[in-house]
Structure 1
């Protein structure tokens, strides 16, 4: 739910502070996962995207976390590297990816990352996560969905590597596991780490739920506390599906193999639909993005409507 309201250098703006203040009034949203923020200039996805790439940003991010906390909600910051899902007009540097193949969504042709550069990406995620903690957020979420860099490594559509970071599922998530380890070492044992997983590309030759079950189990063992499930290269929708909670078949499958909480997202606009998905055991938590974007009182109305039944 990127607002594109940051200042040109990715710094928190008054517009961002006002936006989250409005959305979290009353503390009706239990957990606010704020918009994806870039960990390095090379990974910037769009103009006016929020940044977590520099220590100088921490003080202003503290103000954002404080506003959300004062309103009564917990908050997690989502950290991301766009990989080939950007262009050099935005980043000013080379476009990179796991392999030199066109990005299935954008068509951009990246340069293949070297193993040395992969280690630099891992370091950037680690440093960004520590900044998130120092800024007072309640946890950090690693973004591996919607066709961004870590999703590009996970998907066989974009990862054609023949070294240790390619091949089978465990090879394609090696970078994830190394990031999780580095982040855990940086933030400590008790600090929550979430991972947003694009659990199916819904495209021929792409990632599948069976891949994601293997990945999810490995992520849990590596120290991830919550899995936040969405789509992969298909984006945040399932082609042709209009049902509420359209990623529920993915969360249901992943819950079969992990014991950590699983977040379900996907076109959920009605409180009753969210409640039904929870009662059916499809997920442990419900993510609602676009509905709250459109209506700042959605969560309050949802709670009051459930209470009145």
Structure 2
């Protein structure tokens, strides 16, 4: 049987095949971040037919100070819940499961959009954003951020989604703590990799407390910056073992400050597979691989080789809403 077409169960999440639509920002929300008709239509179209059994909704900001850009979805207050309920219903009607990715952009927040000074683990400019020096978060402010993630996760569950994903990739706030490029703290949140992920473990614990023991928690990790002095796969190997112990159900692997590509410009399908393969060796929970995968056969081979458990297909699905149907049919 096809590897792509094998069902998968991760905790309470049961998936009909191994294809995932990863989070991709659409900038289709209303100006205040609420779910628009355009957002509903987009996700209804992408999940039609149920060929993509798992859809991870683009990053939603948990606090206005952590908003990354115009028309980004907001999960920052309870007013958002009715719109997300409609979105969960639209996805479920098509037989798919929906996960909401929750995020704080930290020093990558757009000050012109938020009207607030950006924050970060250290007073160091974000390598992807230019020269603005963020406010260095105090330990008390870090605890408040964990509460913001917790409240956001509660809203996701109340809206009827099937799980929540904590975003620590692409140079956003949690990824800024993970990376030595932007985390040069001298307290309990900086230094060794285990100290740099202290905030992650606090966020995971806060989220788990509010969603309960059986609700799926995913974590998207920028597993390497691919930059001198940045985070490395060795850091990630240490980190993911702690995340699994803390109760993360699925790891979703991408890049750090390099974003969702790698610096050598490789267009090989599954170009993050060296990261996922190394991570799979040290955890027992499922691992999602994304990165340039456009062909069903490439997905099949990556799974057959044990590089990952689930395959995220982003740009191909963005360009062609029928991609998953054609992929599934080609493997039958």
Which bracket does the TM-score occupy, shorter chain normalised? over 0.9
CA distance in 2, matches of 1:127, 1:66: 21
Question: Among residues 111, 115, 135, which one is paired with 1:92 in the alignment?
Answer: 115
Question: Among residues 286, 304, 308, which one is paired with 2:329 in the alignment?
Answer: 304
Question: Among residues 33, 39, 64, which one is paired with 1:16 in the alignment?
Answer: 39
In structure 2, the residue matched to 1:26 is 49
Q: How does 1:173-212 map to 2 (within 5 A)?
A: 173-212=197-236
Q: Following TM superposition, by how much is the alpha carbon of 1:87 offset from its aligned partner in structure 2, in angstroms?
A: 2.6
Residue 84 of structure 1 aligns to a residue whose secondary structure is helix
CA distance in 1, matches of 2:83, 2:72: 15
CA distance in 2, matches of 1:269, 1:34: 20
Q: How does 1:103-142 map to 2 (within 5 A)?
A: 103-107=126-130, 108-142=132-166
* Corresponding position: 1:168 with 2:176: no
Deviation digits for residues 89-134 of structure 1, max 9, x if unmatched?
1111111000001111112321101111111110000000000000
> How many residues are aligned here?
307
Q: Following TM superposition, by how much is the alpha carbon of 1:290 offset from its aligned partner in structure 2, in angstroms?
A: 1.1
In structure 1, the residue matched to 2:13 is none
In structure 1, the residue matched to 2:9 is none
In structure 2, the residue matched to 1:251 is 276
Aligned-pair Cα RMSD in Å: 0.6
Q: Following TM superposition, by how much is the alpha carbon of 1:8 offset from its aligned partner in structure 2, in angstroms?
A: 1.0
Query: Could you list the runs of 5+ residues in structure 1 that have no partner in the other structure?
Result: none
Query: Could you list the runs of 5+ residues in structure 2 that have no partner in the other structure?
Result: 1-23
Structure 1 ranges of 4+ moved more than 6 A:
none
Structure with greater contact order relative to length (CA < 8 Å, sep ≥ 6): 2
In structure 1, the residue matched to 2:178 is 154
Question: Among residues 90, 114, 117, which one is paired with 1:67 in the alignment?
Answer: 90
